[in-house]
Structure 1
Amino acid sequence: MSVTSERRALVIGASRGLGLVLVEELALRGWGVVATARHGGGALRAAADASEGRLRIELLEMTSAEELAALRGRLDGHRLDLLFVNAAIDRGDLPIGQVPTEMFTEVMITNALSPLRALEALRDLVAPGGTVAVMSSEQGSVSRNTEGGYELYKASKAALNQLMRSYATRHGDDGHTKLLIDPGHNRTRLGGPDAPLDPRESVPAVVDVLEARAGSGGLRFLDRHGDPVPW
Structure 2
Amino acid sequence: MASKTRTALIVGASRGLGLALAREYLARGWHVIATVRSDKRTDLHDVQTGARDRLDIVHVDINEPEQINALHAGLRKRPLDLLFVNAGIASDAETPIGQISAEAFAEVMINNALSPLRFIEIFHELVRSDGTIVAMSSGLGSVANNTEGGWESYRASKAALNTLLRSYAARQVDDTRTYLLMDPGWVRTDMGGPQATLGVEESVPRVVDVVEAQAGKGGLRFLNYQGRTVAW
Name the residue aligned to 2:6: 7
Name the residue aligned to 1:29: 28
Deviation at 1:174, TM superposition (A): 1.6
Structure 1 segments, 4+ long, off by >3 Å, are none
Task: Describe how 1:1-231 pairs up with structure 2 within 5 A.
Answer: 5-40=4-39, 41-92=41-92, 93-231=94-232
Amino acid at match of 1:17: G
Superposed CA offset, 1:184-225 (max 9, x none)? 000111101111110111100000011111000000000001
Do the aligned partners of 1:181 and 1:222 also contact (CA within 8 Å) in 2? yes
Secondary structure (helix, strand or coil) at the match of 2:32 reads strand
Aligned residue pairs: how many?
A: 228
> Structure 1 stretch 179-188 or stretch 91-100: which is displaced more?
91-100
Q: TM-score, normalised by structure 1?
A: 0.97
Distance in 2 (alpha carbons) for counterparts of 1:51 and 1:80: 18
Secondary structure (helix, strand or coil) at the match of 1:98 reads coil
Distance in 1 (alpha carbons) for counterparts of 2:90 and 2:205: 24
Superposed CA offset, 1:137-179 (max 9, x none)? 0100000000021110000000000001001101142210000
Distance in 1 (alpha carbons) for counterparts of 2:155 and 2:129: 33
Deviation at 1:183, TM superposition (A): 0.1
Q: TM-score, normalised by structure 2?
A: 0.96
Superposed CA offset, 1:88-140 (max 9, x none)? 11123111110101001100000000000010111110011100000000100
Distance in 2 (alpha carbons) for counterparts of 1:136 and 1:66: 25
In structure 2, list runs of 5 or more residues that go unmatched.
none
Identity %: 53
In structure 1, list runs of 5 or more residues that go unmatched.
none
Secondary structure (helix, strand or coil) at the match of 2:98 reads helix
Distance in 2 (alpha carbons) for counterparts of 1:39 and 1:108: 20
Distance in 1 (alpha carbons) for counterparts of 2:190 and 2:211: 24
Secondary structure (helix, strand or coil) at the match of 2:22 reads helix
Amino acid at match of 2:12: G
Distance in 1 (alpha carbons) for counterparts of 2:38 and 2:150: 32
Distance in 2 (alpha carbons) for counterparts of 1:172 and 1:130: 16
Amino acid at match of 1:5: K
Distance in 1 (alpha carbons) for counterparts of 2:19 and 2:174: 32
Amino acid at match of 1:227: R
> Structure 1 stretch 7-16 or stretch 166-175: which is displaced more?
166-175
Distance in 1 (alpha carbons) for counterparts of 2:173 and 2:227: 21
